[in-house]
Amino acid sequence: MLTERMNRLTPYVFLAPAVIVLAVALLYPIGYMIYASFLNWNPSQRIGEADWVGLQNYLGLLGDENFHESFWVTLKFAAVVVSAEMVIGVGLALLLDRNIRGMSILRTVFILPMMIAPIVVGLMWRYMYHPSVGIINRTLKDLGFEPVPWLSSPEWSLQSVIIADIWQWTPFIFILALAALQSLPRSALEAARIDGATPWQQVWHIKLPLMMPVLIVTGLLRLIDAFKVLEVILVMTNGGPGLTTEILALRIARTASEFRELGVAAAMSNYLLIMLLVLTVAMFLYNKAIEARSARLRAAAEEA
């Protein structure tokens, strides 16, 4: 009896250190942030000295036009960069999923941008976008075009930041999509070729459906990261001109450091957390449905 009880308790004993570390390193900071969001707290106070204001910080943000602007900029930025990176990354993976001489070197070159620190990426693109000495405007002048105010114009600033993010993180999509492609069952592709499917039909009806569970998780990871981009935008535009490139992560940082409103910054962080949780749950539910469909496709391919 005692031995059976010990056997049942053994897994929990081994899990206990990980659970304790998770509670301290993850749950405690989140709880601290949630508690701080109900306070009128500034950096000159200890958290215990701050006044309790309840939902005032949350309700105030609902009527804050600057918060609304940052929210929509974040949505536009995340939607555009993730969509573009998925299309380009998956397209490159489909093109390079073949035996070509020097392919290993080419793949290494493709993933170099994601290895560069975000601060360096921001500085590099800021100098490239320089209105007079930047290589992009110098090239435009050599071709007979007018220079473009990439970072100083409200019409171009967000697009400029989007281009930099796509350049840096498309390799992340590419490398995961390529791994998904190379793990596809060869029997399904061979059966499609025997049945006379064209290369495009193989991509559309076989490869992409089987890759979809991996692509959904990959897109979700990039979407979460896009909502939290800070360093590149901070270095390139600092949220300007105006609020045209101020995403929520930058707004939160400025609210805490410049405006010294830690409670309001915590409330913004919780809004962002809720939004990401909703997106994550929706994507995982959709992924479950896609995985079930992929399993049926794999089973049908093996039977064929």
Q: Tens digits of per-residue pLDDT, 118-156?
A: 999 999 999 999 988 899 999 999 898 888 999 989 899
Phi/psi of residue 184, each to 5°?
-65, 145
Look up tokens 């590419």; give the residue. 174
Which class in CATH covers the domain with range 65-303? mainly alpha
Instruction: Say how far residue 66 (Cα) sits from the centre of its chain.
Output: 23
Residue 301 has pLDDT above 60, yes or no: no
Residue 300 has pLDDT above 70, yes or no: no
Name the residue ranges covered by the structural domains of the chain: 65-303
Nearest to 173 by CA among 87, 115, 97: 87
Residue-wise pLDDT tens digits, 187-224: 777 777 777 777 788 878 788 888 888 888 899 889 98
Return the minimum-mean-pLDDT range out of 109-113, 143-147, 277-281, 285-289.
285-289
**Coil, strand or helix at 40:** strand
Question: Percent of the chain beyond pLDDT 70?
Answer: 95
Instruction: Say how far residue 232 (Cα) sits from the centre of its chain.
Output: 13
Question: Percent of the chain beyond pLDDT 90?
Answer: 39
Residue 86 CA to residue 81 CA, distance in Å, equals: 8
Residue 265 CA to residue 35 CA, distance in Å, equals: 12
**Coil, strand or helix at 86:** helix
Residue 251 has pLDDT above 90, yes or no: yes
Residue 70 CA to residue 250 CA, distance in Å, equals: 9
Task: Name the band, by pLDDT with cuts 50, 70 and 90, for residue 298.
Answer: low
Are 88 and 166 in contact by the 8 Å Cβ rule? The answer is yes
pLDDT of residue 304: 56
Predicted model pTM: 0.85
Phi-psi region of 239 (alpha: psi -120 to 50; beta: other; left: phi over 0): left
H-type helices in 129-205, by residue range? 135-142, 157-182, 186-194, 199-202
Q: Which two tokens stand for residue 236?
A: 């390139």
What average pLDDT does range 252-261 have in this prediction? 90
Q: Which two tokens stand for residue 216?
A: 């959904």
DSSP category for residue 52: E
